[in-house]
A and B are shown apart, each in its own frame.
Chain A
């Protein structure tokens, strides 16, 4: 089966919160110096899901990433995990697109590749966390979508997907081709190992621009964007800490229980 995975490069979410800085005027995040960007954690799970399907059913995995030249690292990372090929979607017109614009570019690229059975995305990006691209993309491609998958299995021409719900999961069946967004619950991504890790370094990732894709200028027009950022701020969090004490641990626990009782 042929799978296409969409993966985004994001600022390393593991930096200490104190290091996270924004420019409120430009409504942009300031990349911290010396911290390399990484593949969005959810998208890495999508790659993992694709690799697991490939382990069982063979086939081909193609990775798409839209972003700067550095985003080629995301594709290389996916290839070192087990993907076969990848394309970098890069064009000045692609910068700062909203979810609809992004989905349009991805849809064009997916149609250009063609012959796919499954499109996988992360449930949301680890930076903005909108979680829209997957669903919009499916709509544009005219294929079914299942979100929040924690397990994807393929049987013949159908997919069996465990989808997260608030108190567990539901099992859904979808015909292929189909789009699935993957959640972290699918499990840890594999550690890229073996020779792939070495080989991928020298691999050239082909770049597709707006013209290559035949993207429609109207869809890339930022003045007609569906989303507008009106303000950007780092949430301030205030913590008040009251230390509950007691002469014995038992007394301290009783005092704590009394305090909690006051709150509920």
Chain B
């Protein structure tokens, strides 16, 4: 008789089974509904388009475990363990439904028990149990012995490890006592059968064996139910939420920001937890505190106070803490009487202010928007837009920002570009003076435009690369024009610093200028301009074909229009700019160009392509001073370059170039290491035999 079929203290097992299930499932639903209500405190956002793609992507990502396997590196193989546990968990989940739910609860045991299917599936589960146990041991060693930087030791993790471990043990014990009680001598399922053989030989009475089987069975059931109750109450909520988050993942351009609606509002951006959208709050549920973001964040690694892991964790804690009060206030206006809520409030501890108590201003300003956190996040959390939303509030509503950020934004607003003062040695329009370039005057039209960008037009070092660029384009016979003085900043530094309206003004102004010249194609040299014009301008009516020059040059080289004939015997390394790589997935073309140059040896840095490490200049940080007392991010990146033994570090972004120039100068190694823009290397390969 199955354990559920028996009667306990006069109560049928079925009643106990379903009563326990009802309690556990009730507790599960209660919590899930509570979390759902908290999530709905957030603002509206439409994430329901392209359902098919969403479902497909979610299944591919989770079932294949690409989400955790994509982050596996020689130094961090934890993702393999996660994938194993996930797949085994799926097997057990199905096993529980069949053997405990159907066979037990629905009394279908006679149909299932002792069938070849049961033996086969149990055998598979035995193997799974071994794999899971091994994974658990490794996980425990990592957490409590090795203690990698990315993990925070927590009781939650210990509880869940013990819970899973006990499930594995109970599974095998259940099998063993069942077989032993029935007196079956079999060799499958391997673990259960082996242990059953041991139990049979141990001389335990039939009654003891049967009672033990029942005991183990019910205990097993209880632990499973306990798991169901515990999961939504711990960080293991991610088991549920990460699926949902994968479904609602962003589908448009990567790391995109939402515009602020142009309405008369009192406040802008996010200053309270309920100012986030529901998707932002769902992100908090999805977080399993795995810390991959923590060990990939340039701000964190350089000693700044920001940690994307702690950022998300603090927000989640804050939501759970402040949420119930907000829900009460919400319902308070309708059902609960005013007096009740009013007498309630003074006794409660005052609510935390989100900016300040939960997330500090320092943290909010430390982000370089490089997107490394989101790249490695297995559960599709969007950290960067949350940070920008907080910045928006600081800048647009509270007018609080670092002085260096304020100075940059003031320049953007009054001068139309972020560079001012002594840095602008050459001024917009000036560099074009003796190049014979076509500068568009009012009423002129041009199909293809070379968008120079403020940095390429105004900063001396970058102007050198810009000049190189014009010569290369001319040599390849590309017909292009430039805007000269009428080219304003694309708006990226303003947007990333939270000064959203200034960005919108610049976007609209530039789109108007570009349209007035009938521009169709834009060659951008700065990845920030590229990303902005290509991915952000369409929202404001600017639909242009935008190419980054690395793509164009790769194309010209492959079609024989640009011949890189001179041998440059040089060891190079290529630094992926964040806004070219992670934001726009352009990894290949710059490398193709460099490899097409005879004699060059391209060395890869350990952190390259999608895990490239920021130069430190993104997100407005070309102008915002790094927190004092911390390492400079560009110096950390320089160390990566030096490890390759390269003589030249090549990049394709004016900010990165400046950041490298600065760190090389700071270290005083200008004789042995040069920083070059990709286009400068290309020009050298066209005209000269050495790269100097």
Interface residues of A (CB under 8 A from B): 12, 14-16, 18-19, 32-36, 38-39, 77, 80, 188, 190-195, 197-198, 201
Q: Judging by beta carbons under 8 Å apart, are A195 and B414 in contact?
A: no
Between-chain CB contacts (< 8 Å), 25 pairs = A12-B420, A15-B427, A16-B422, A19-B427, A33-B429, A34-B484, A35-B428, A38-B414, A77-B414, A80-B413, A190-B399, A191-B395, A191-B406, A191-B409, A192-B413, A193-B396, A193-B499, A193-B501, A194-B268, A194-B501, A197-B413, A197-B501, A197-B502, A197-B505, A198-B262
Contacts of B399 in A (CB 8 A): 190-191, 193
Q: Give the CA-CA distance A18 to B425 in the complex, in Å.
A: 9
A245 CB to closest chain B CB, in angstroms? 20
| Cα of A234 to Cα of B375 in the assembled complex, Å | 55
CB–CB B425/A16 < 8 A: yes
Residue-wise, chain B 554-584 has the 8 Å CB interface mask toward A (1 for contact) of 0000000000000000000000000000000
Q: How far is the CB of A57 from chain B (nearest CB, A)?
A: 19
CB distance from B640 to the nearest CB of A (A): 34
Q: Mark B409-421, 1 if CB is under 8 A from A, else 0.
A: 1100111100011
Q: A14-B420, A15-B427, A35-B427 are in contact. Are A195 and B415 (CB under 8 A)?
A: no
Given contacts A14-B420, A191-B413, 13 further A-B contacts (CB under 8 A): A14-B424, A15-B424, A16-B424, A34-B484, A35-B428, A77-B414, A193-B395, A193-B396, A193-B499, A194-B268, A197-B501, A197-B505, A201-B505
B53 CB-CB contact with A under 8 Å: no
**Alpha-carbon gap, A77 to B413, bound state (A):** 9
In whole angstroms, what is the CA distance A39 to B415 when docked? 10
Choice from A15, A193, A194, A198 contacting B505 with Cβ under 8 Å:
A198
Q: How far is the CA of A19 from the CA of B415 in the complex (A)?
A: 16
Interface-centre pick from A36, A191, A197 (highest chain B CB count, 10 A):
A191
Given A16-B424, A34-B427, A34-B429: A195 touches B265 (CB 8 Å cut-off): yes
When distances are taken between beta carbons in the complex, the residues of chain A under 8 Å from B502 are: 197
Chain A positions within 8 Å of B413 at CB level: 77, 80, 191-192, 197
CA distance A36 to B265 in the complex (A): 31
Chain A residues within 8 Å of B416, by CB: 36
Q: Which 10 A-B pairs have the closest CB atoms?
A: A34-B429, A34-B485, A193-B396, A197-B501, A34-B428, A14-B420, A14-B421, A38-B414, A34-B427, A198-B501
In the complex, what's the smallest C-beta–C-beta distance from B462 to chain A, in angstroms? 16
* Chain A min CB distance to B453 (Å): 15
| B264–A195 touching, CB < 8 Å | yes
Known: A33-B429, A33-B430, A188-B406. A194 touches B396 (CB 8 A): yes
CB atoms of B410 and A191 under 8 A apart = yes
B122 proximal to A (CB < 8 A) = no
B484 / chain A contacts, CB cutoff of 8 Å: 34
A residues less than 8 Å from B430 (CB atoms): 33-34
Closest to B396 in A: A193
B532 adjacent to chain A (CB < 8 Å): no
Give A201's nearest chain B residue, CB to CB: B505
Could you tell me the distance in whole angstroms from the C-beta of B479 to the nearest C-beta in chain A? 24
**Are the C-beta atoms of A194 and B397 separated by less than 8 Å?**
yes
Shortest distance from the beta carbon of A216 to any chain B beta carbon, whole Å: 35
From residue A117, how far is it (CB to closest CB) to chain B in Å? 26
Q: Could you tell me the distance in whole angstroms from the C-beta of A124 to the nearest C-beta in chain B?
A: 19
Kindly report which residue of chain A lies nearest to residue B427, judged by CB atoms.
A34
- Among B403, B420, B424, B427, contact of A33 (Cβ-Cβ < 8 Å): B427
Q: In the bound complex, do residue A32 and residue B427 qualify as a contact, i.e. CB atoms below 8 Å apart? A: yes
Hey, which chain B residues are within 8 Å of A198, CB to CB? 262, 501, 504-505
Chain B's closest residue to A18 (CB) is B425
Chain B residues, Cβ within 8 Å of A195: 262-265, 501
**Chain A hits for B403, CB < 8 A:** 188
Interface string of B484-528 (1 = CB under 8 A from A): 110000000000000101101100000000000000000000000
Determine the residue in chain A with the shortest Cβ distance to B260.
Answer: A195
Find chain A residues with CB under 8 A from B406 CB. Answer: 188, 191
Instruction: Give the distance in Å from the alpha carbon of A251 to the alpha carbon of B499 in the complex.
Output: 52
**CB-defined contacts of A15 to chain B, threshold 8 Å:** 424, 427
B414 contacts across to A, CB distance below 8 A: 36, 38-39, 77
Within 8 A of A (CB), among B255-279: 262-265, 268
Name the B residues within 8 Å of A18 (CB-CB).
Answer: 425
Q: In the bound complex, what is the Cα–Cα distance between A19 and B424 (angstroms)?
A: 10
Q: Which of B397, B420, B421, B504 contacts A193 (CB 8 A)?
A: B397
Quote the shortest CB–CB distance from B482 to chain A (angstroms): 12
Bound complex: CA of A190 vs CA of B424, how far in Å?
24
Q: Which residue of A lies closest to B401 (CB)?
A: A191
Determine the chain B residues whose CB is within 8 A of the CB of A80 once the complex forms: 413
Q: Which residues of B contact A33 (CB under 8 A)?
A: 427, 429-430, 485
Compute how far the CA of A18 lies from the CA of B460 in the bound complex, rounded to whole angstroms: 14
Say how far B492's CB is from chain A's closest CB, in angstroms: 17
By beta carbon, the residue of chain A nearest B414 is A38
Chain A residues with CB under 8 A of B268: 193-194
Bound state CA distance, A80 and B415, in angstroms? 15
Q: How far is the CA of A197 from the CA of B264 in the complex (A)?
A: 12
**Shortest Cβ distance from residue B402 to the other chain A in the assembled complex, whole angstroms:** 12
Interface residues of B in 403-454 (CB under 8 A from A): 403, 406, 409-410, 413-416, 420-422, 424-425, 427-430
Chain A residue at smallest Cβ distance from B420? A14
Report B-chain residues with C-beta under 8 Å of the C-beta of A12: 415, 420
Interface set, chain B 171-185, CB cutoff 8 A to A: none
Per-residue 0/1 for B382-405: is the Cβ within 8 Å of any A Cβ (1 yes, 0 no)? 000000000000011101010100
Q: Return the chain B residue nearest A32 by Cβ.
A: B427
Chain B residues whose CB sits within 8 angstroms of the CB of A36 once the complex forms: 414-416
Chain A positions within 8 Å of B499 at CB level: 191, 193
Q: How far is the CB of A101 from chain B (nearest CB, A)?
A: 27
**Closest Cβ–Cβ distance, residue A197 to chain B (whole Å):** 4
B433 smallest CB distance to A (angstroms): 10
| CA of A197 to CA of B395, assembled, Å | 13
Give complex CA distance A80, B410 in Å: 12
CA distance A12 to B419 in the complex (A): 12
Q: Please measure, in the bound complex, the distance between the C-alpha atom of A198 and the C-alpha atom of B507, giving whole angstroms.
A: 12
Cα A77 to Cα B415 in complex, Å, equals 12
The distance from the CB of A182 to the nearest CB of chain B, in whole angstroms, is 18
Q: Within the assembled complex, what's the spacing in Å between the Cα atoms of A195 and B268?
A: 10
Q: Which residues of A contact B422 (CB under 8 A)?
A: 16
Closest chain A residue, CB of each to CB of B457: A34
| Residues of chain B with a CB closer than 8 A to A39's CB | 414
CB neighbours of B262 from chain A (8 A): 195, 198
Q: Which residues of A contact B485 (CB under 8 A)?
A: 33-34
**Which residues of the other chain, A, contact B428 by a CB distance below 8 angstroms?**
34-35
A188 CA to B402 CA, complexed, in Å: 12
Chain A contacts of B265 at CB under 8 A? 194-195
CB contacts (< 8 Å) of A191 on chain B: these are 395, 399, 401, 406, 409-410, 413, 499
Distance of A197 Cα from B415 Cα, bound (Å): 14
Complex CA gap A16/B502 in Å reads 25
Q: How far is the CA of A190 from the CA of B396 in the complex (A)?
A: 11
* A contact residues around B504 at 8 Å (CB): 198
| Minimum CB–CB distance for B391 against chain A, Å | 12
Give residues of chain B (344-363) contacting chain A, Cβ–Cβ below 8 Å: none
A192 to B412 CA separation, bound complex (whole angstroms): 11
Residues of A with C-beta under 8 A to B263: 195
Among B406, B420, B485, B501, the most chain A Cβ lie within 10 Å of the Cβ of: B501
Nearest CB of chain A from residue B403's CB, rounded to whole Å: 8
Chain B residues, Cβ within 8 Å of A34? 427-430, 484-485
Closest residue of chain B to A80, judged by CB?
A: B413
